[in-house]
């Protein structure tokens, strides 16, 4: 993979990167179908055990593309504001971004699939359900839309890069 050219912005703090991935709610899943047409979409995700987990129906464009070409790029970012300067050419953006390259593969192990879905529920609906999902429920569930089981994909990290431009709050345009 190509290295980050703006080396001053590389974030080497692994704990910060992992905390950021755990806390953020939406990432952009970028794929390319077998004819070379790019396709990117925002998805809810959970970062757990060193993987990105996403879910969805067992049909649709995402499922079709990933079934044929599982190589993906997954991006998570947060913009903190615009950095001001007396010179317009020196204005900038404060941010943290993480780019992950890997393969989005279906999770077929019921235990892992159930655990990933429970992590998603804990992240997006903390304390809402009285009990966690069971493997039996996950395997028997069918979508009312297409009568297919829920698909869970795990993205194993082949390469991860992180960049940041941290600044003090007083330097940001509000």
CA distances from 59 to 145, 149, 166 (A): 10, 9, 40
Residue 2 located in a structural domain: no
Please state the domain count of the chain.
1
The domain that contains 105 carries what CATH number? 2.30.110.10
Q: What angle do CA 52, 76, 85 make, to 5 degrees?
A: 160
Percentage, residues of the chain above pLDDT 70? 89
pTM for the whole structure: 0.89
Percentage, residues of the chain above pLDDT 90? 63
Rounded to the nearest integer, the mean pLDDT of the chain is 89
Does 115 have pLDDT greater than 70? yes
Give residue 43's domain range: 7-173
Residue 1 located in a structural domain: no
Residue 153 located in a structural domain: yes
Residue 155 located in a structural domain: yes
Alpha-carbon distance of 38 to 169, in angstroms, equals 37
Give the length of the chain: 174
Give per-residue pLDDT as tens, 78-111.
998 888 888 888 888 889 999 999 999 999 999 9
Average pLDDT on 116-128 reads 95
Q: Which residue has the tokens 């615009």?
A: 82
Give per-residue pLDDT as tens, 13-43.
999 999 999 999 999 999 998 888 999 999 9
Residue 59 banded pLDDT, cuts 50, 70, 90 = confident
Residue 143 located in a structural domain: yes
């Amino acid at each position: 993979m190509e290295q980050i050219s703006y080396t001053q912005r590389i974030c080497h703090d692994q704990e910060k990167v992992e905390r950021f991935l755990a806390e953020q709610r939406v990432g952009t899943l970028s794929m390319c179908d077998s004819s070379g047409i790019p396709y990117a979409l925002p998805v809810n995700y959970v970062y757990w055990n060193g993987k990105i987990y996403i879910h969805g129906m067992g049909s649709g464009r995402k499922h079709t593309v990933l079934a044929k070409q599982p190589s993906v790029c997954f991006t998570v970012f947060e913009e903190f504001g615009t950095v001001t300067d007396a010179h317009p050419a020196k204005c900038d953006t404060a941010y943290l971004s993480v780019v992950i390259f890997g393969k989005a593969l279906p999770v077929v192990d019921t235990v892992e699939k159930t655990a990933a879905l429970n992590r998603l529920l804990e992240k997006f609906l903390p304390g809402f359900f009285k009990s966690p999902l069971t493997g039996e429920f996950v395997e028997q569930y069918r979508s009312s839309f297409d009568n297919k089981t829920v698909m869970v994909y795990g993205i194993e990290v082949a390469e991860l890069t992180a960049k940041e431009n941290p600044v003090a709050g007083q330097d940001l345009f509000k």
